[in-house]
Structures are given as C-alpha cells and as structure tokens.
C-alpha cells in the first residue's frame, strides 16, 4: 500500500519496503537487483547485535547470487589486510586473530557482535577487505586539510570530493547541531572516513564484481558520505540497504535514505545500555 505525502506507512516486521513509497518489496527481486550492483552498503549501528545478524543474512543471500563477492569492513585499518587474508585462509584461531588486528584498541565494540560475519567469510572463503585508515590521519587531514598531507602519507587515498550542502545539513541533524556549528574541520574529518572506504572499495572492484560494505549507517544514508565519494571515483551502481526498528515510516522524510529498509524485530539493548536489575534485599 502506498501513501499520500506525509502520511506514515506501516512497516510490517520481517519485510523490506521502498522508503520513498512505503511499498513492500519482494525480497527475491530486491536481492537480484542488489546482486547486479558494483557495491552494496549495509548500514549499521555498531553496538546492536540484531543488525549484525541482519547483515549476515543479507550477505548470505548476495553470496548465493554472486559467489565471488568480497566483504569490506569499516572496523579494520588497511595495515591489517595481510592478517585478514590469513584469517580467511584458516591460518589462525579466533583469539589470535583478534589480538593481531588489535581489535580492542582499534574498534573496541564486543567482538561477539561481528564474529559470525568473520566466520562466514572464513567458512565460505570470502575475501575480507580492510576499508579504514588510521585515526591520526583523520585528525591530521581534518585539522590541516588534504593538501597539507603528502600523497605518500595518505594511505592510498585521493582527496575527497567536496561535501554538498545537503550532506552538511545531514551531519548537523545527526549530531544535533545547528548547521552553522558544523565546522569545516569536522566535515573534512568525516570525509576522510568516507573517502577511505570509497577508495578501498574502488580498488577492490578491479578484481571483485561486487563489494559488500559493512559500515556505519551515517556513512551511507541519503547518498551522502561513501556513496558520494564512490560516484566521484566513477562507481555508479551503488545499493544502500538499511535496517529499521520503526513500526511506521514517513515516505517524505525517508525518501532517498537508501534503496530499501528491512524491519527488524525489536533488538535487545546492547550490554552498555541495559538497565541493571535491582538486587533482592
């Protein structure tokens, strides 16, 4: 059922909808359409386990249609790519892997959230891609600008395409700031991450027909962030899939957020957000 502009549309559990219309989508048709893309970005909230289960389900569907796909992860800086390769090849155990990629220091979220995705890649021999750069580079470019950093020190990245006014407004909404409070330094820093993911994906497309990106939803909503940087690099077939907990959506507000929204069951709060049970006196 479609709605007139501004009317909320019910989003049934366990269904995909077109966010622009509220129409329920056939999952087989949607997955076929996504499998024809060069890049499919699966946006996440990092500490919600149900979202990572959803990512695994989508990755499994796409892998059945495109067995030579690769999975790219925001969680890993480029320097650990050889370790990811060894993990997928079955050359180390889980604990050793987490130590060698410096999981606690670099990412810090509970590894249990992501391990099913990592084991899927290992079991199916799906190449894992390290999409990120080092945090000091983000700080440096944010502070000094791209031109102040020699090309040899940019970790293989080219300068980011300028942010659009709409992207600036979106970042203001995400951070709860007025647009005037969103500084150029903040924008540049955000774009370093967006550009890092885009450059790594673009490079991988030379050998993979489809790259699935596991990245934060703020980097891919409304065609800003990483999709914007991918288009600047000449990548045109980009899909964005997002999870939603909302019982209803406003097609006017959601238009352009992504290609499809999947309605999750209400996820359990992550450990950091769960109320502490009162002890019996």
pLDDT tens across 156-176, in order? 999 999 999 999 999 999 899
Which residues of the chain are under the pLDDT cut of 50? Answer: 1-4, 275-281
What confidence tens digit (pLDDT) does each residue in 42-78 have?
999 999 999 999 999 999 999 999 999 999 999 999 9
Residue with tokens 């220091």: 105
Pull the structure tokens for residue 131: 């999409």
pTM for this entry: 0.93
Distances (CA, A) of 80 to 45, 75, 134, 193, 263: 23, 10, 11, 17, 34
Kindly report the backbone phi and psi dihedral angles of residue 102, in degrees, each rounded to the nearest multiple of 5, phi listed first: 55, 50
Q: For the chain, list the domains and their CATH numbers.
A: 10-249 (3.40.50.11550)
Decide the pairing of beta strands 260-263 and 16-17: antiparallel
């Amino acid at each position: 059922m479609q709605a007139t502009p501004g009317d909320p549309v019910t989003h049934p559990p366990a269904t995909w909808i077109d966010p622009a219309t509220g129409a329920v989508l056939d999952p087989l048709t949607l997955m076929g359409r996504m499998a024809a893309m060069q890049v499919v970005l699966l946006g996440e909230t990092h500490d919600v386990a149900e979202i990572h289960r959803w990512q695994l389900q989508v990755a499994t569907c796409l892998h059945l249609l495109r067995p030579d796909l690769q999975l790219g992860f925001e969680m890993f800086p480029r320097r650990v790519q050889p370790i990811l390769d060894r993990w997928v090849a079955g050359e180390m155990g889980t604990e050793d892997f987490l130590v060698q990629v410096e999981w606690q220091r670099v990412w810090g979220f509970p590894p249990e959230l992501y391990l099913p995705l990592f084991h899927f890649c290992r079991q199916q021999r799906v190449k894992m891609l390290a999409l990120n750069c080092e945090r000091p580079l983000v700080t440096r470019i944010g502070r000094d600008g791209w031109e102040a950093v020699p090309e040899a020190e940019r970790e293989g990245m080219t300068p980011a395409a300028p942010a659009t006014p709409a992207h600036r407004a979106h970042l203001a909404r995400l951070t709860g700031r007025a647009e005037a409070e969103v500084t150029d330094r903040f924008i540049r820093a955000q774009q370093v991450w967006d550009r890092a993911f885009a450059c790594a994906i673009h490079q991988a497309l030379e050998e993979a027909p489809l790259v699935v990106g596991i990245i934060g939803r703020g980097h891919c909503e409304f065609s800003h962030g990483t999709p914007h940087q991918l288009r600047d690099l000449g990548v045109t077939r980009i899909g964005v899939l997002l999870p939603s907990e909302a019982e209803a959506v406003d097609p006017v507000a959601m238009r352009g957020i992504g290609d499809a929204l999947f309605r999750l069951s209400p996820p359990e709060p992550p450990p950091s957000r769960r109320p502490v049970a009162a002890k019996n006196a």
